[in-house]
Amino acid sequence: MATKLKKIPAQEAETKELMMSPGVSEFGRSTVFVTCPFCGRETEAYVWSLAGSGKRCPNPECRAHLCYGVAIRDMVPAEEAKEKSRGAEALAGPSR
């Protein structure tokens, strides 16, 4: 089953440059350490993952989408986004 990507309108998203630094890892040079520009949390990520679909910030309060060279964060608070989603599902009716 394929993952459905959520499109975020440009006015509802914020972008910042993503800083990456090579690190010593048990996986060699296939990983880098990235620091989320929104919350400052550091995490290890595979280079190919950042260049492909990206990785989410591990901070549950932030959850920015970390990609190769850029980080994107939805400016709509998570709870508000969930409520909008529930409202849209209710309007659409039951799914089959």
Long-range contacts of 2-7 (CB under 8 A, 24+ apart): none
Residues 47-61: pLDDT tens digits? 888 888 899 999 999
42 compared with 78, residue with greater pLDDT: 42
- Whole-number pLDDT of residue 37: 92
Q: What is the 3-state secondary structure (H, E, C) of 52-94?
A: CCCEECCCCCCCCEEECCEEEEECCCHHHHHHHHHHHHHHHCC
> In the chain, what are the domain boundaries?
10-92
**Buried/exposed code over 27-45 (b: 16+ C-beta within 10 A; e: otherwise):** eeeebbebbbbbeeeeeeb
The pLDDT confidence band at residue 89, using thresholds 50, 70 and 90, is low
**Mean pLDDT over each residue of the chain, to the nearest integer:** 75
Structure tokens at 14: 């914020």
Please report, rounded to a whole number, the percentage of residues in the chain having pLDDT higher than 70: 61
pLDDT at 59: 92
